[in-house]
Amino acid sequence: MDVVFSRGPVGSRQFGHDHFRCAGSVPTTVHNPTAFKMNKSSLHDMTQCHNGAIEINSVPDRGALPQARQKRSIHILCIDDNALVRECLDVCLTHFDHRVMVASGGKQGMELFRTATLKNQPYEVVITDLGMPDIDGHHVARTIKAESPNTPVIMMTGWGTAMGNDEKIASEVDAVIGKPPRMQELNDLLLRITTPAQKS
């Protein structure tokens, strides 16, 4: 099943047809009609908030069509002050078999990052929003790179990938993505910029 959250224009900025897309083997037969773990209220709130729509593509009694894509479980920290964005990142990236922790702001994100490092369970990549009220994405990225230079940082911004041309941002992070992200593209990016864990 493919679940696509489409977002149109918001406010004075034109985002085009951005998507949250969760794609893969989600069983949706009559025996398991609630396999996709996001409730109807959250879906409705998200689409209303972003002036969008929901599109679900599935095959009756078969769930999703098999996909010949690389798969690897990645330990990910997602930092965003928007609860709906956090929920969607959590649900969709978990669907791709990743291990996801979400933080509601830069301060909490840095605390989670440091705690995981101390426990010898470091995050393999950090996804952070740019504009947050407590500690913004610039500060988060700089701090993570200072403490763990090899940890990839992905900056997420409503201004889109054009922000990647900003020299300040480019020097702080490994990649810049638009907000909301296209989930399949984000998953592909995560697989590219992270190093597979070495088996002991």
Three-state secondary-structure class, residue 76? strand
* Dihedrals phi, psi of 19, to nearest 5 degrees: -135, 145
- How does strand 2-7 pair with strand 18-23? antiparallel
Let me know whether 51 and 82 are in one domain.
Answer: no
Q: Which two tokens stand for residue 173?
A: 């992070």
Give the 3-state secondary structure of residue 170.
helix
Q: Is residue 186 part of a domain?
A: yes
Same domain assignment for residues 16 and 84? no
Q: 25 versus 83: which is more confidently predicted? A: 83
One domain, residues 113 and 164: yes
The Cβ of residue 56 has, within 10 Å, a number of other Cβ atoms equal to 12
Do 111 and 143 share a domain, yes or no? Answer: yes
Cβ atoms of 176 and 169 closer than 8 Å: yes
Same domain, 176 and 96: yes
Same domain, 50 and 137: no
Question: Whole domain around residue 52: which residue ranges?
Answer: 2-57
Check pLDDT > 70 for residue 75.
yes
* Shared domain check, 120 and 81: yes
| CA-wise closest residue to 125 among 161, 185, 175 | 175
Helical spans, DSSP H, in 50-174: 83-95, 106-118, 137-147, 167-172
Indicate whether 69 belongs to any domain. Answer: no
Confidence of residue 179 (pLDDT cuts 50, 70, 90): confident
What lies within 8 Å, CB to CB, of 31 at 6+ separation is none
127: phi > 0 → left, psi -120 to 50 → alpha, else beta; which? beta
Asked whether residue 67 is domain-assigned, the answer is no
Q: What is the pLDDT of residues 104-163, one digit of tens each?
A: 999 999 999 999 999 999 999 999 999 998 899 999 999 999 999 999 999 998 765 545
Residue 128 belongs to a domain: yes
Confidence of residue 171 (pLDDT cuts 50, 70, 90): confident
In a domain, 179, yes or no: yes
What's the CATH number where 127 sits? 3.40.50.2300
DSSP 28: -
Residues 90 and 133 in one domain: yes
- Order across the sheet with 18-23: list the strands: 18-23, 2-7, 52-57
End-to-end CA distance of the chain: 35
Residues 49 and 111 occupy one common structural domain: no
- How many domains does one find in the chain? 2
Q: Please compute the mean of the pLDDT values over residues 48-77 and round it to a whole number.
A: 62
Reference 190, options 180, 181, 199, 200; nearest CA is 181
